[in-house]
């Protein structure tokens, strides 16, 4: 698993250095994890094998997250019946901050909590938000750092590509 984390980190560095630092195409095993969800149950990435997963790291203090999350909710509603899901990992140390954020920006996809940033560290998250597109075989295929208006079009293109595979 260390090789995949290192590969993901190298891809992230390359994405940051790219003149088009939005998304980087990669193809490495996505590190498995288990986190508690908003509903109280533990969710494991491996349990979503066979689905396309949009893994999104966000925080309540993140302005771009406030813009991005409702657009992600639209993608979730549109593609969830085609074998697509979103796992949104909140990195706030205080869960109440996330709850206040979600009261203002409600979403229908699963919210997971990573208050010790263990999964964020596993994925070497360097920016908020960070999004990893994972294919049905559990491979991280696209890595996005940050959010700017229009990224949702790129997300949709990648979701379409991955659900067709």
- Domains of the chain and CATH, by start: 21-164 (3.40.30.10)
Q: Is the pLDDT of residue 44 over 50?
A: yes
What is the value of pTM for the model shown?
A: 0.87
Distance from C-alpha of 58 to C-alpha of 82, rounded to nearest angstrom: 25
Sign of CA dihedral 41, 68, 159, 156: positive
pLDDT digits (tens, 9 = 90+) for 5-33: 444 444 443 433 333 345 778 889 999 99
DSSP E strand stretches across 50-137: 52-58, 84-90, 111-113, 130-134
Return d(Cα 35, Cα 70) in angstroms, integer: 22
What does the pLDDT read at residue 18?
Answer: 36
The tens digit of pLDDT for each residue in 120-160 reads 999 999 899 999 999 999 999 999 999 999 999 999 999 99
CA distance linking residue 66 with residue 50, whole number of Å: 29
């Amino acid at each position: 698993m260390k090789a995949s984390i290192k590969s993901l980190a190298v891809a992230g560095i390359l994405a940051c250095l790219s003149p088009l630092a939005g998304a980087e195409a990669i193809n490495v095993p996505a590190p498995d994890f288990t986190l508690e969800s908003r509903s109280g149950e533990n969710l494991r990435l491996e349990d979503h094998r066979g689905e396309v997963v949009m893994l999104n790291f966000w925080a309540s203090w993140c302005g771009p997250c406030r813009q991005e999350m409702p657009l992600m909710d639209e993608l979730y509603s549109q593609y969830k019946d085609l074998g697509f899901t979103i796992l949104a990992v909140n990195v706030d140390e205080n869960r109440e901050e996330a709850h206040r954020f979600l009261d203002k920006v409600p979403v229908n996809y699963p919210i997971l909590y990573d208050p010790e940033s263990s999964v964020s560290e596993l994925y070497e998250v360097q920016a908020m938000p960070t999004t990893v597109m994972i294919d049905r075989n559990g491979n991280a295929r696209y890595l996005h750092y940050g959010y700017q208006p229009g990224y949702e079009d790129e997300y949709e293109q990648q979701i379409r590509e991955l659900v067709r595979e």
